[in-house]
Amino acid sequence: MSKQRILDQFRENAELNRQAAASLAQPIAEAIELIFIALSNGSRILACGNGGSAADSQHFAAKLVGRFERERLPLPAIALSTDTSVLTAIGNDYGYHEIFAKQVQALGQAGDVLLAMTTSGNSGNVVAAVEAAQERDMRVVALTGNGGGALSSILTDVDVHICVPHQRVSRIQELHLLTIHCICDGIDVALFGGDTE
Contact 43, 34 (CB under 8 A): no
Q: Determine the pLDDT at residue 196.
A: 46
Largest pairwise CA distance in the chain? 52
**If pLDDT is split at 50, 70 and 90, which confidence band does 192 have?**
confident
Q: Is 97 helix (H, G, I), strand (E, B) or coil?
A: helix
* 108-119: average pLDDT: 98
Rounded to two decimals, what is the model's pTM? 0.94
Beta strands in the chain (DSSP E): 45-48, 77-79, 113-117, 139-145, 160-164
Q: What is the pLDDT of residues 162-171, one digit of tens each?
A: 999 999 999 9
CATH topology (fold) of 3-192 = Rossmann fold (3.40.50)
- Which among 14, 23, 46 has a CA at the least distance from the CA of 126? 46
DSSP label at 137?
Answer: T
**If pLDDT is split at 50, 70 and 90, which confidence band does 188 have?**
very high
Q: Determine the pLDDT at residue 191.
A: 84
Q: Determine the pLDDT at residue 193.
A: 78
Task: Go through the chain and tell me how many residues it has.
Answer: 197
Q: What is the pLDDT of residues 10-51, one digit of tens each?
A: 999 999 999 999 999 999 999 999 999 999 999 999 999 999
Q: Long-range contacts for 168-174 (Cβ within 8 Å, ≥24 apart)?
A: 168/12, 169/52, 169/119, 169/120, 169/145, 171/12, 171/13, 171/16, 171/145, 172/119, 172/144, 172/145, 172/146, 173/52, 173/53, 173/56, 173/119, 174/13, 174/16
* 97-115: average pLDDT: 98
Contact 121, 152 (CB under 8 A): yes
Contact 156, 88 (CB under 8 A): no
Q: What is the mean pLDDT of the chain?
A: 95
Where are the chain's structural domains?
Answer: 3-192
CA dist., res. 185 & res. 191, Å (int): 10
Residue 1 has pLDDT above 80, yes or no: no
CA dist., res. 79 & res. 71, Å (int): 21
Residue 140 has pLDDT above 90, yes or no: yes
Q: Which amino acid is at 129?
A: A
CA dist., res. 86 & res. 107, Å (int): 12
Q: Determine the pLDDT at residue 195.
A: 60
CA dist., res. 142 & res. 191, Å (int): 23
